Amino acid sequence: MVDPLSFGTIYFHHMKQTEYVGPKLTREVGGTFVQLDTSDVGLWYLTEKRQGVYDWSLLDEAYRACEQERVEPVPSFSHHFMPPSWIEKGPFDDNVVDASEYEGYGEEFKELTLVQKSFADFVADLVKRYGNKTKLYVFSHEWNLTQAQFAKPGSVEYGKLLRNQLISTILAYKIIRRMQPSAKVTAGLLNFYRRDAENGRQLNALASLIEEWPFGPRYMIRKYVETGDEDYLRFLETTYLFYASYSASKDGFGPFYFDDRVGEALEELYNGSVTVDRKRYYYRDYIRGFIISPVSMSTKWTGNLDRFYTEEEQAKILKTSLEKVIEAENRGIPISRIIVSLNDKNEDWTKYAQNRWLYVPEGVYRMKGFRDPLIKKPTDWPISYEPKKAAEIFRRYAEKYKK
């Protein structure tokens, strides 16, 4: 049984802001839920000041604002799977620590690295604190981006990162299921752009990228066959896809071009399958609901220094994307939530994007040999709000489908 279609937004809170305005903006554009995140760092990175010591003030403020505006809070654990700065090796951590409290979750969790245990502890404490107010947990904004853009498959570092992230994902999923069985859990915003590695041109098989990266159906089904652990299959029940877009650059960084064929990509993925040990597994047997972000909206979006999208273009792309997603839902694709990053919010991405988006947060800085400017102070870019044409499109659809 798929939940009724609902509309919501992603709100990236800037550290300079004195008020958590995301829930208010969500309500104003007709949304009923908001994904809580930050523009500088992810919640885990920001919250765990040192091992086992948490500062919940930002999330407390966000939850209070959601209650006041009567919108559902959806916490996002970790932006791009970036650990707190006190974990010296970041996502490549290989320091094995005592984690006897998690032995009961299975053979794979008898020995954990520091980053795996710290993530498990953080998730457990977050669920304990906010579980009575939360129905859906999202692991990340672009949960698969780190290994895709900052490590080479086959390298020693890549192996460490992938194991850390996979163990952290499945263990946290098990913890949530045990602590709050009624909750839904998803990997969250799988970055979903296509490009040809040789010439940078757009590719047609939009769904195939999810196949190639971890946390997509093929990968999780193969892990199930390998381990016999059915949680790898259950984790697919709520599948979260990011916008479809493509890059004109062979190295994968901007300018990015939006693609409005998300509905088609959803159907392609949902009706896909994988054969393992001569047995065929159909994704539709495991995916019970999709959360889809049809396009991300900002006047000068992320690193697009060379590609300016006008308000009219953004509104048209969003409208077409929404229409195609809703057409797919009408044909029986189990889409339960549509979520968009718009919020009528302006940030000066053009000046800061290459430093703040590509290398956020410190774990990625270290991977690239940079020093995190947050050690000195938060990025000081201007923020303002104004009505956007895309927000008007979103509001129209959100109100129409509101139950």
What pLDDT, on the 0 to 100 scale, is given for residue 304?
53
Assign 207 a pLDDT band (cuts: 50, 70, 90). low
What are the extents of the domains in the chain? 6-401
**Nearest-angstrom CA–CA distance, 116 and 101:** 13
What pLDDT, on the 0 to 100 scale, is given for residue 255?
61
Mean pLDDT of 190-207: 52
**Nearest-angstrom CA–CA distance, 375 and 241:** 32
Instruction: Let me know: does 362 contact 374? Beta carbons within 8 Å.
Output: yes
pLDDT for 376 beyond 50: no
Cis amide bond preceding 214, omega within 30: no
Q: Of the given ranges (214-223, 249-258, 337-346), which has the lowest mean pLDDT?
A: 249-258
Burial label for 155, CB within 10 Å (0-12, 13-18, 19+), is: exposed
pLDDT in tens, 211-221: 666 788 888 99
Distance in Å from the first CA to the final CA of the chain: 16
Element spanning 368, H or E: helix 362-368
Cα dihedral 145, 129, 49, 359, rounded to 10, equals 20
Q: How many CB atoms lie within 10 A of CB 371?
A: 10
What CATH superfamily classification does 6-401 receive?
Answer: Glycosidases (3.20.20.80)
**Nearest-angstrom CA–CA distance, 56 and 356:** 23
Of 153, 279, 277, nearest to 213 by C-alpha is 153
pLDDT for 275 beyond 50: yes
Assign 232 a pLDDT band (cuts: 50, 70, 90). very high
What pLDDT, on the 0 to 100 scale, is given for residue 155?
77
Give me the count of residues in the chain.
Answer: 403
Q: How many CB atoms lie within 10 A of CB 315?
A: 19
pLDDT in tens, 299-323: 555 445 556 677 788 888 889 989 9
